[in-house]
């Protein structure tokens, strides 16, 4: 899929087929995160891929709005060293991976991290060393059903030239 099309067609997917994603495809998706822009060249991110169904259920049970991730083929946890721009860097990596997944016909959904009450519990569960923040949780899988992206405001409503 062409890049601009992947950006336009990407949408949150919360229902997945019971279908395995090949390791090389998962690595391509994570690599999209690895090459994201990063403030001061710090690359503070780390990516944890979870494929074990028991572990997926455990993470799903900890979240508040991510219960569906237990049915994903895998989930990517984005955590970042606690640097000045960890959130910006981690979010850029997250979006890159979601667009990369969409370009490969794989659905994803951004399950909140960072400011959620369960962050520390998830980091502890995954044995993440101290000094890291949970940025996002990204369940991925082949979409169980076809759906259209959520309508967005038209460009002429949001684009301003020179001044607001």
String of DSSP letters for 23-65:
HHHHHHHHHHHHTS--GGG---EEEEEE--HHHHHHHHHH-SS
Q: How far apart are CA 49 and CA 26, in angstroms?
A: 8
Q: Judge: domain 3-145, CATH 1.10.287.10.
A: no
Contacts of 161 (CB under 8 A, 6+ apart): none
State residue 72's pLDDT score. 98
Q: Count other C-beta atoms under 10 Å from residue 37's C-beta.
A: 10
Tokens at residue 56, please?
A: 């997926």
pLDDT tens track of the chain, all 164 residues?
799 999 998 999 999 999 999 999 999 999 999 999 999 999 999 999 999 999 999 999 999 999 999 999 999 999 999 999 999 999 999 999 999 999 999 999 999 888 999 999 999 999 999 999 999 999 999 999 988 878 999 999 999 999 99
| pTM of the entire predicted model | 0.95
């Amino acid at each position: 899929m062409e890049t601009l099309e992947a950006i336009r067609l990407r949408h949150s997917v919360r229902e997945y087929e019971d279908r395995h994603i090949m390791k090389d495809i998962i690595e391509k998706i994570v690599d999209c995160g690895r090459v994201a822009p990063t403030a001061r060249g710090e690359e503070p991110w780390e990516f944890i891929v979870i494929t074990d169904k028991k572990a997926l259920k455990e993470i799903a049970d900890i979240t508040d709005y991510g219960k569906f991730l237990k049915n994903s083929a895998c989930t990517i946890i984005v955590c970042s060293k606690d640097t000045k721009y960890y959130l910006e860097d981690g979010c850029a990596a997250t979006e890159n991976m979601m667009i990369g997944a969409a370009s490969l016909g794989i659905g994803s959904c951004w399950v909140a991290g960072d400011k959620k009450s369960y962050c520390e519990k998830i980091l502890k569960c995954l044995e993440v060393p101290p000094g890291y923040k949970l940025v996002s949780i990204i369940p991925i899988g082949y979409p169980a059903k076809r759906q259209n992206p959520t309508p967005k405001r038209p460009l002429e409503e949001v684009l301003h030239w020179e001044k607001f």
